[in-house]
């Protein structure tokens, strides 16, 4: 069986004939050709160390066409070798420009430009790459060059990943490529060829044929080429070196179940696959040329109308398949979506929520409030991915995951929300001095030492509030140095952002409600007992929930300043914000 690059479109070249050549190219490989192939050597216009070039004599294509094909191949070989040699040796390659197009050639449906015949190649032999006359008439020279780079990656695979290619061929058949390994053999060839010629985008043809209803390791036929989407994501997230390391970790024998087991066992793949899924659903996967790939998701998508009360959702996901769940929201409700802890997920499962086109990791419950005027009402998308070694559904020691989504209908907790006065709209900087005074007695047996960093607030005309924290750092120290039972110091560093909604209540005060849990605010705690520091990182979820949810506060906007007074846990915190450009 042979690798075919059934990619691109070309026209059949004009025909002339040529006299017999001096040698038989078919003799260079065992069984690569069905009969003798009369050819003669050719020196291309570009010097290509490590490659030799031959022209088959006779046939319908002119010598000029065949030599033009080899000139293109020489350019592509030099470029591909420079990239591929970072990860392994590319053994000698022999290019043969044959006299006739491939038997399956069709300018509209199967414009085959070239192929690498590696299945019959013996160790120690040069890699034979056959180029067809149609390649010389291709309208886009860069796409043709990418095709050559694709075939050269197959040569690289034979030289550096031969054991992984072998898979589990039928008894008595000696070959280095089977349907079992096609998913990564063709997918990685398209990915790495695109690294060599990033602007050519020949891989798009295969990417549009990726079957989103099948797992990665079961992609076959045209869909196997589409696995370049996953390798593109993995390469972007990590590096091309990481993709090569992953390929080397694939099994040297076994069936498709062995491929899945290797995927499940590979460290960090659960995160890589989840990132890949999010990029596909948001159309945010970037090509090697820095432009969006823009592939439409054509897989299964479950949609659920959430009724009042509790709705139970069965998460019937299969490993290595993207299947999003979409929940329709209505005005006037408080929705609660469960976090990972309540779903009893294991290390091979990940979940994220998308709300207003922003992703939030499902580390804890997600609450979305649509009860007040001005609050956004848009769909919530849950992405739940699995990378465990199973066919999906119930497995040993594991039951299918279920989740309970709650919908509560009630009035807006802030009486009636009115529009935010125009004075409040804009960008503001929080005055740290007022916060420092409020923190003075926040820790028992400890004294507040210092505060640094910044909190900036952006208030929209419609009441949307975004707080951004940049290394906002609070430090407490032991009040009594002789008190060995009290921490020597406590430092909290906050970074990130969270969002909420503010409006004017009937009382005339301002009211604050979170629009959704925002898990983008992180803090790092540095605790010192006896001068030794321990660091603990954690993520804050829904920092605008209790005690701030539905909290009314005195706000007074005067020119370029806002003076506020917040009640929290029986205390009142006063402060000031100053307007920024």
Q: In this predicted model, what pLDDT tens digit does every residue of 495-530 receive, in sequence order?
A: 777 777 787 777 778 887 766 554 455 555 566 554
In which band, very low, low, confident or very high, does the pLDDT at 550 lie, cut at 50, 70 and 90?
low
Task: Report d(CA 459, CA 495) in Å as an integer.
Answer: 19
Q: Mean pLDDT lowest for which of 36-45, 119-128, 302-311?
A: 119-128
**Residue range 368-377, pLDDT digits in tens:** 888 877 677 8
Assess contact for 137 and 103: CB atoms under 8 A. Answer: no
Q: Which residue has the higher pLDDT, 61 or 5?
A: 61
Residue pLDDT, tens place only, 78-94: 999 999 999 999 989 99
Q: Please, which residues have CB within 8 angstroms of residue 581's CB and are 6 or more apart in sequence? A: 427
pLDDT in tens, 192-227: 999 999 999 989 989 999 999 999 999 998 999 999
Which residues, listed in sequence order, are joined to residue 292 by a DSSP beta bridge?
286
What is the pLDDT, as a whole number, of residue 21? Answer: 40
pLDDT at residue 1 is higher than 60: no
Percent of the chain with pLDDT over 70: 79
More confident residue, 545 or 523: 523
Over 70: is that where the pLDDT of 191 sits?
Answer: yes
pLDDT of residue 104: 79
**Burial of 387 from C-beta contacts in 10 A (0-12 / 13-18 / 19+):** buried
Q: Within a 13 Å sphere around the CA of 487, how many CA atoms are in the beta-carbon half?
A: 17
| Confidence grade of residue 20 (pLDDT, cut at 50, 70, 90) | very low
- The predicted pLDDT at position 535 comes to 47
Is the Cβ–Cβ distance between 316 and 392 less than 8 Å?
A: yes
Give the separation between CA 574 and CA 470, rounded to whole angstroms: 21
Condensed to tens digits (0 to 9), the pLDDT of residues 272-297 reads 999 999 999 999 999 999 999 989 99
Measured CA to CA, the distance from residue 68 to residue 131 in angstroms comes to 11
pLDDT higher at 372 or 111: 372
Contacts of 170 (CB under 8 A, 6+ apart): none
Q: pLDDT at residue 269 above 70?
A: yes
- Predicted pLDDT at 313: 84
Structure confidence at residue 287 (pLDDT): 96
pLDDT (tens digit per residue) in 50-71: 999 999 888 777 778 888 889 9
224: enclosing H helix or E strand:
helix 222-225
Higher pLDDT, 463 or 218: 218
Provide the pLDDT confidence category of residue 141 given band limits of 50, 70 and 90. Answer: confident
Q: How far is CA 114 from CA 187, 220, 274, 343, in A?
A: 17, 20, 35, 50
* CA dihedral over 25, 28, 33, 35, signed as positive or negative: positive
Say what the pLDDT of residue 138 is. Answer: 67
Which pLDDT does position 574 carry in this prediction? Answer: 84
Check residue 107 and give its pLDDT.
Answer: 66
| pLDDT above 50 for 542 | no
Q: Residue 543's pLDDT band (boundaries 50, 70, 90)?
A: very low
Does the pLDDT value for residue 319 go beyond 70?
Answer: yes
Q: What is the pLDDT of residue 513?
A: 73
Residues 256-284, mean pLDDT to the nearest whole number: 93
Using alpha carbons only, what angle is made at residue 55 by residues 54 and 60, rounded to the nearest 5 degrees? 160
Q: What is the pLDDT of residue 108?
A: 63
Rounded mean pLDDT, 301-319: 87
Report field, pTM of the whole predicted structure over 0.85: no
Whether the CB-CB separation of 401 and 343 falls below 8 Å is answered with yes
531: confidence class by pLDDT, cuts 50, 70, 90: very low
pLDDT of 164 strictly over 70: yes
pLDDT at 260: 93
What is the structure's pLDDT at 480?
Answer: 84
pLDDT exceeds cutoff 90 at 249: yes
Question: Would the pLDDT of 265 be above 90?
Answer: yes
pLDDT winner (highest mean) among 60-64, 334-338, 489-493: 334-338
How far is Cα 472 from Cα 476, in angstroms, rounded to an integer? 14
Average pLDDT, the chain: 80
The answer on pLDDT for 229 being more than 90 is yes
Given a cut of 60, whether residue 174 has pLDDT beyond it is: no
Rounded distance between C-alpha atoms, residue 406 and residue 309, angstroms: 6
């Amino acid at each position: 069986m042979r690798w075919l690059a059934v990619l691109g479109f070309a026209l059949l070249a004009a025909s002339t004939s040529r006299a017999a050549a001096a040698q038989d190219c078919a003799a260079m490989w065992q069984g690569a050709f069905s009969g003798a192939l009369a050819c003669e050597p050719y020196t291309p216009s570009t010097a290509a160390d490590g490659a030799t070039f031959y022209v088959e004599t006779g046939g319908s294509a002119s010598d000029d066409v065949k030599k033009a094909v080899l000139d293109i191949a020489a350019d592509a070989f030099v470029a591909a070798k420079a990239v591929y040699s970072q990860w392994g040796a590319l053994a000698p390659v022999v290019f043969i420009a044959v006299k006739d197009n491939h038997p399956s050639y069709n300018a509209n449906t199967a414009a085959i430009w070239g192929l690498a015949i590696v299945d019959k190649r013996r160790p120690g032999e040069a890699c034979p790459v056959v180029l067809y006359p149609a390649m010389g008439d291709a309208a886009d020279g860069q796409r043709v060059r990418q095709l050559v780079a694709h075939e050269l990656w197959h040569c690289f695979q034979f030289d550096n990943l031969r054991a992984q290619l072998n898979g589990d061929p039928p008894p008595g058949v000696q070959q280095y490529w089977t349907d079992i390994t096609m998913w990564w053999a063709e997918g990685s060839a398209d990915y790495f060829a695109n690294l060599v010629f990033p602007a050519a985008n020949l891989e798009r043809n295969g990417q549009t044929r990726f079957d989103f209803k099948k797992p990665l390791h079961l992609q076959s036929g045209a869909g196997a080429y589409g696995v370049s989407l996953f390798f593109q994501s993995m390469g972007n997230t990590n590096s091309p070196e990481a993709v090569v390391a992953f390929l080397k970790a694939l099994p040297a024998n076994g069936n498709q179940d062995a491929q899945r087991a290797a995927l499940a066992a590979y460290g960090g793949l659960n995160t890589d696959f989840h990132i890949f899924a999010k990029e596909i659903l948001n159309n945010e996967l970037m090509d090697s040329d820095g432009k969006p790939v823009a592939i439409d998701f054509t897989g299964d998508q479950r949609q659920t109308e959430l009724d009042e009360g509790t709705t139970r959702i069965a998460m019937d996901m299969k490993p290595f398949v993207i299947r999003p769940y979409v929940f329709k929201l209505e005005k006037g409700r408080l929705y609660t979506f469960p976090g990972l802890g309540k779903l009893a997920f294991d290390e091979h499962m990940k979940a994220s929520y998308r709300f207003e086109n922003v992703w939030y990791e499902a580390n804890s419950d997600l609450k979305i409030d649509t009860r007040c005027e001005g609050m956004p009402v848009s769909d919530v998308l849950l992405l739940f991915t699995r990378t465990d070694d199973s066919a999906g559904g119930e497995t040993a020691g594991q039951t299918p995951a279920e989740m309970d989504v709650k919908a509560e209908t009630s009035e807006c907790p802030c009486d009636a929300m009115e529009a935010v006065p125009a004075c409040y709209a804009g960008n503001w900087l929080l005055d740290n001095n007022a916060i420092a005074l409020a923190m003075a007695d926040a820790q028992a047996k400890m004294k507040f030492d210092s505060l640094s960093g910044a909190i900036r607030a952006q208030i929209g005309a419609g009441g949307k509030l975004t707080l951004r924290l940049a290394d906002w750092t609070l430090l407490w120290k032991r009040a009594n140095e002789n008190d060995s039972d009290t921490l020597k110091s406590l430092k909290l560093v906050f970074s990130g952002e969270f969002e909420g909604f503010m409006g004017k209540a009937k009382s005339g005060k301002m009211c604050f409600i979170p629009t959704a849990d925002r898990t983008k605010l992180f803090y790092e705690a540095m605790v010192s007992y006896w001068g030794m520091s321990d660091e603990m990182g954690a993520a804050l979820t829904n920092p605008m929930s209790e005690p701030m949810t539905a909290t009314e506060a005195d706000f007074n906007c005067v020119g370029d300043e806002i003076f506020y007074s917040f009640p929290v846990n029986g205390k009142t915190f006063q402060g000031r914000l100053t307007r920024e450009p």
